[in-house]
Structures are given as C-alpha cells and as structure tokens.
C-alpha cells in the first residue's frame, strides 16, 4: 500500500483517538460505583469486603448518635427489611436527617458495618415543606426510591 497523506492523516487521528479512548475506558469498570440496598449489602460475602459501594436507604429514626471524642456519626440505614449500621467520618450534608432518605458511599467491612466518608442526602423531588401539606399544596407522593436517584 502506498503511504499517502490521507492514510497518514487517518492513521495519526486514529492513533490519538485510540489512546484517548483507552484513557477513558481502560479503567471504566473501576470507576463505576454500584448502588445496593441494605439487604443486598448485608448479604455480602468475603470477596465484596472493602469495595466501594453506594447504599441507598432511609435513616432510621433516633439512630443518629455523635461519637463524643471523634465526633464521628453512627447511625442506621434501612430499606424496610434489613437495618445496617453505618459509621460516618466527615461532614454530614445539610439535608441529612433522621427519617429521610440518604445515599451512603463507603466500604462494607468484615465487622458488618458500612464505613463511609460521603453521604448524599436530598429532599425528595416533591420539595415539600412539612406544614405545607396541610395547606393543600401537596403533590401526590412519589415512589420513595425514585427520590433517591442521586448524582
């Protein structure tokens, strides 16, 4: 094959494109974080320990406790079936509250506890201040898990 300018152009563009593609997708799998429910996490076996996961659930009422010395936060997360304990070191987001939904990113470890440094909490998309429901502005309640679609 004769090496023409055109093949040269196509070759160099192609090579660069492949390099960039590799950069993006060579590690694509490792850059994905999977979502789980508390039930799924509590059923994890040895080989899942220490992998980064996101767990979506409801913060159990009256479970949030500040650990006195470290000011870490311990709380429990539930999907209605299973309750899992969480230790959180970091800054809880503004909307993190008992009885509300939260997505917790962290590692499930052999001590059967979720160790997290990041919580994503959101008010539901209905964005409903509590006393307004009485005022008659309430929108229909949406599926709870739908409101947890974070990120």
Partner 1 sequence: MMIEIGHLAVIMALVLSAVGIVTPMIGLKRQNGVWIQIGKQAVTANFVLLSIGMATMIYSYATQDYSVKYIAATSNSRLPMFYKVAGLWGGHEGSLLLWSWILSLYCMMAVWIHWKTQPVVMPYLIAMESLILHGFLLLILFLSNPFERIFPVPVDGRDLNPLLQDPAMVIHPPMLYLGYVGLSIPFCFAMAALFSGRLGEEWIKVTQRWTLLAWIALTTGVLMGGYWAYYELGWGGYWGWDPVENAAFMPWLVATAFLHSVMVQESRKMFKVWNLFLIILAFSLSLIGTFLVRSGVLSSVHSFATDPGRGLFILAFLAFMLLLSFGTLIFRSGKLKSQIELDSMISREAVFLFNNLFFLVAMVTVFIGTLYPLLTEALKFKKVSVGPPYYNAVFMPVALGLIFLMGIGPYIPWRKASRESLKKHFLIPLLFSGAGLVFFAILGVHDLYALAGLTVVCFVLASIVSDFSKISMFWAKQRRVNHLSGLYVAFRQNPRRFAGIITHVGVLIMIVGIIFSTIYQTEKVVILKPGEEVTLNSFKIRLIKLYETTGPNWVAQEGFFQVYLGNTLIAQLTPQKRLFTVSQTPTTETALHQYDMGHIFLTIPEVAPDGSWARVRALYNPLVLWVWYGGAVMVFGAFLNIFRPKRKEIYSEGIATLTPFSSKKMVQE
Q: Which residues bind partner 1 (CB under 8 A)?
A: 5-6, 8-9, 12-13, 16-17, 20-21, 23-24, 26-28, 30-35, 54, 71, 90-95, 122-123, 125-130, 132, 135-137, 139, 142, 146-147, 149-151
Query: For residues 19 and 111, which CB has a smaller minimum distance to partner 1 in the complex?
Result: 19
Q: 139-144 — which CB contacts under 8 Å span 24+ positions?
A: 144/58, 144/101
Query: For residues 13 and 112, which CB has a smaller minimum distance to partner 1 in the complex?
Result: 13
How many whole angstroms separate alpha carbon 122 and alpha carbon 100?
8
Query: For residues 43 and 91, which CB has a smaller minimum distance to partner 1 in the complex?
Result: 91
Query: For residues 1 and 137, which CB has a smaller minimum distance to partner 1 in the complex?
Result: 137
**Quick check: 117 and 106 in contact, CB under 8 A?**
yes
Contacts of 139 by beta carbon, 8 Å cutoff, 6+ apart: 126, 128
> Least distance (Å) from partner 1 to the CB of residue 54?
7
**Quick check: 56 and 13 in contact, CB under 8 A?**
no
> Least distance (Å) from partner 1 to the CB of residue 112?
22
> DSSP letter at 79?
S
């Amino acid at each position: 094959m004769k090496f023409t300018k055109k093949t040269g152009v196509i070759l160099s563009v192609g090579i660069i494109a492949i390099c960039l593609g590799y950069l993006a997708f060579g590690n694509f799998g490792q850059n994905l974080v999977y979502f789980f429910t508390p039930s799924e996490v509590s059923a994890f076996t040895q080989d899942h320990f220490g992998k980064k996961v996101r767990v979506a659930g409801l913060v159990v009422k009256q479970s949030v406790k500040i650990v006195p010395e470290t000011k870490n936060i311990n709380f429990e997360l539930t999907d209605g079936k299973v309750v899992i304990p969480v230790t959180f070191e970091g800054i809880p987001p503004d909307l993190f509250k008992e009885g509300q939904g939260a997505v917790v990113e962290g590692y499930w470890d052999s001590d059967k506890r979720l160790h997290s440094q990041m919580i994503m909490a959101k008010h539901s998309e209905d964005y409903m201040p509590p006393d307004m429901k009485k005022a008659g502005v309430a929108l229909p309640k949406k599926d709870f898990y739908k409101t947890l679609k974070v990120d």
